[in-house]
Structure 1
Amino acid sequence: MSCSEQLMTVLDALDRAFASEEPFLVTGCTYCYGEQDLAELSGPLHLIPEDLVFSVAAKVPDHWDDFPRLYRRLVPRIVRPLVTGRLHVDEELIASRLVQACWTTWDASLSEALRDVWSAWWQCTLHTYPSPVPVREALSFIAVATNSLRPWLDGWTTTRTPAADTHLADLVDDVMFEFEITDLRMGFYGEYRATAELLGWLLSDVRDRVTDARLDDPFLLEFLRTVAQHPN
């Protein structure tokens, strides 16, 4: 089974897992959403217009009287276009919204279905170039959503494909611009401090796979030592 087929399989499983989320009376900000919008959000999931789903996906939680329940119910309509590059909302913002909705505390069947998507999506990203979602955005999303970066970097280390190496070159070129790597924060709100983990990984685990002389700057190694000694 190809990685794209595996991703579709876990997305279908996600749909089935979240099918248990029943419609409910949605109430919230009537300045931003009219009666018709609220009625559609309270109805069958598949009938909610795509632009309405995308709008709700981005809005701050206080727009809704029961934000976690609404976001949980909309997850299948948000996550599938997200991982396939069709969600016209900042990926990192969606990660922040999922954290605000406390997705890791949902019923095990729901949270595990999402974890399966993150894993399959990351693997598919590393095996596909170009990927529907750029690698930095995908990595930032997963790091913020799971509050962890190293496991996903370890997966990258063991994935030695041309696509993974090209993604790596793109990431390095991105984060080394004006030495952004020295103060790299992931997430729409900069929630995840990624500098120490990412820089340490770039200078050790995958250094032999990157032909970028900027990584040889002595300043970076000294900076990493300082960060390790004073992580806060």
Structure 2
Amino acid sequence: MPGQVLPYLPPPPLPPEPQDDQPPPAPLLAPLPPLSEDEPAPGQPQPPPPPDERTHLMVSGRFNDTEMVDYIKKVRDILTHKGVPIFMVDTQAPGDAFGSQTLQGLYTAKALLAFCGTNYGQRTGARYETYVELRYAHDNNLEIIPIQLCDTFPPRPPDFEGRCQNHVVLQRDVIRIVDIHMNNPLHVADKIHAAWTHRLQHLRVYVKPY
């Protein structure tokens, strides 16, 4: 049986050649925008943030004596009025938690104002106390300005560790301000203000990584 003959079908026409004045076809995927010079390339580690600058004078003192607290606040208020940046823990009543305030104060402190009463620097076992504040300032090479409010200097608290640290850190040749009877807060504030104006405010002190 003879096979069936199919009719001839011509091939489909070729697509027309693009003219020179016609734009090229759009790509399937749009190109990525160029990276900014400030942006790291993908996969590269992010640069660390700049170090934080220390800016304040931190008040360090025992706040279990109402008379001393009132005296320190007078000095603070005079310095604040003179434009000196002061950080002092603010407690409203016994039992107030001030741990986070102390951490912030130490972190931003460029110098420590050590109001040295008889028991200053005592190690009581509390997480935040003058023993810890003085040690932090010493370990981080912060300037320490002692204000002597007791007859004996350095102070001799009842515990051995506190006396040892005071003897090493608060050396007798350290320039200090004396107001043993706590009756001249203006004189103390003027001395601190002079130290700030002539020296401390010009220092650029940054928090250093351990």
Structure 2 length as normaliser, TM-score?
0.30
Query: What TM-score results when the alignment is normalised by the length of structure 1?
Result: 0.28
The structure where helix makes up a greater share of residues is 1
| Higher RCO structure (Cα 8 Å, ≥6 apart) | 2
Question: Greater share of strand residues, 1 or 2?
Answer: 2
